[in-house]
Amino acid sequence: MKVLVATDKPFAKVAVDGIRKEIEAAGYELISLEKYGEKAKLLDAVKDANAIIIRSDIIDAEVLEAAKELKIVVRAGAGVDNVDLAAATTHNVCVMNTPGQNSNAVAELVFGLMVMAVRNMYNGTSGTELKGKKLGIHAYGNVGRNVARVAKGFGMDIYAYDAFCPKEVIEKGGVKAVASVDELYSTCDVVSLHIPATAETKNSINYALVNKMPKGGLLVNTARKEVINEAELIKLMEERADLKYMTDIMPAANDEFAAKFVGRYFSTPKKMGAQTAEANINAGIAAAQQIVGFLKDGCEKFRVNK
Ligand code: 3PG
């Protein structure tokens, strides 16, 4: 069996070593394709792969068509918006993710971005503190829960909204559950986004919603760029000089944001929430183990396509 690790944004070496150990212990062969850049290289590499480990790498119908021997794709991470799940099902390919394995890394970056914003991008001027501020966690999944845990240490007043998570679960974590997304934004000084990119959420963070935030509002995005209505956020930030936007997923309109909102906007050059050795090890090794469990025992835990 051939297991391909196809990561345009490579894992830390220590994680690749760990993945290799798991795959070789199962008697399989590991092939690595890092920083491949062009899709043509991916299309060539997948030809004889039986299993593939990816990150945000795009697995679309064309890739699945080229991967004639493929049985399973594991997205080492949470979001599966980069995989054409319906096409995978058509090709009889199982798709899994590794939920929770990189959540702490993303949560820590949320605070890195928050502190940077409230300290005025470290420009030497007097900023503000997070302690006592109202934090809104938009979606209370694995990352949202880690954000809540860290926020307690900062002494923040924590609120969360999640359409799918029961109020009791949120409140058990010492967090106040709000009844609507509108209430979250109108209540909180800082909102941290943890929603996936789906047909329902794309473009949903728009002018009307963000405009509900109190004066000095800060929006932090470590989720997906697609959930932001960029044109509307730009219009709003032009009208409201008090708002700040910090993102780990560079907007399509990055140049415009950067030019117009100096001191109020920051984007990492490349999504790096999950880019730690620990997260790479956790997610990469989980992916390798899930592949072995699937190929040897037919285990479909964490399957995301029907
Ligand atoms: C995820 O969905 O797990 C995160 O966005 C991390 O993505 P990455 O593996 O491309 O860094």
Residue nearest to ligand 1 atom 5, measured at CA: 79
Q: Rounded to whole angstroms, how far apart are CA atoms 4 and 53?
A: 6
In angstroms, how far is the first alpha carbon of the chain from the final one?
A: 24
Close Cβ partners of 234 (under 8 Å, ≥ 6 residues apart): 253, 256, 257, 260
Q: Tell which atom from ligand 1 comes closest to the C-alpha of 57.
A: 10
Q: How far is the CA of 76 from the centre of ligand 1 (A)?
A: 8
**pLDDT computed for residue 223 by the predictor:** 98
Ligand 1: residue of 75, 102, 276 to mutate (most ligand atoms within 8 A of CB) is 102
Ligand 1: residue of 108, 271, 276 to mutate (most ligand atoms within 8 A of CB) is 271
**pLDDT computed for residue 211 by the predictor:** 99
User: Count of residues for the chain?
Assistant: 306
Q: How far is the CA of 215 from the centre of ligand 1 (A)?
A: 31
pLDDT by residue for the chain (306 residues), tens only, comes to: 999 999 999 999 999 999 999 999 999 999 999 999 999 999 999 999 999 999 999 999 999 999 999 999 999 999 999 999 999 999 999 999 999 999 999 999 999 999 999 999 999 999 999 999 999 999 999 999 999 999 999 999 999 999 999 999 999 989 999 999 999 999 999 999 999 999 999 999 999 999 999 999 999 999 999 999 999 999 999 999 999 999 999 999 999 999 999 999 999 999 999 999 999 999 999 999 999 999 999 999 999 999
Q: How far is the CA of 131 from the centre of ligand 1 (A)?
A: 29
Residue nearest to ligand 1 atom 6, measured at CA: 274
142-154 and 103-118 are packed helices; what angle lies between their axes, rounded to 10 degrees? 50
Q: Tell which atom from ligand 1 comes closest to the C-alpha of 223.
A: 5
Q: How far is the CA of 222 from the centre of ligand 1 (A)?
A: 9
Residue nearest to ligand 1 atom 9, measured at CA: 55
The set of protein residues with a Cβ atom below 6 angstroms from ligand 1 is: 9, 55-56, 77-79, 102, 271, 273-275
Question: For the stretch 189-224, what's the b/e string if a residue is b when 16 or more beta carbons lie within 10 angstroms of its beta carbon?
Answer: bbbbbbbbbeeebbebbbeebbbbbeeebbbbbbbb
Residue nearest to ligand 1 atom 10, measured at CA: 56
Q: Rounded to whole angstroms, how far apart are CA atoms 84 and 89?
A: 9
pTM, entire model: 0.97
Angstrom CA distances, 3 to 29, 136, 287, stand at: 6, 40, 11
**pLDDT computed for residue 1 by the predictor:** 98
Q: How far is the CA of 128 from the centre of ligand 1 (A)?
A: 30
Q: How far is the CA of 39 from the centre of ligand 1 (A)?
A: 19
Q: Rounded to whole angstroms, how far apart are CA atoms 234 and 256?
A: 8
**pLDDT computed for residue 164 by the predictor:** 96
**pLDDT computed for residue 37 by the predictor:** 98
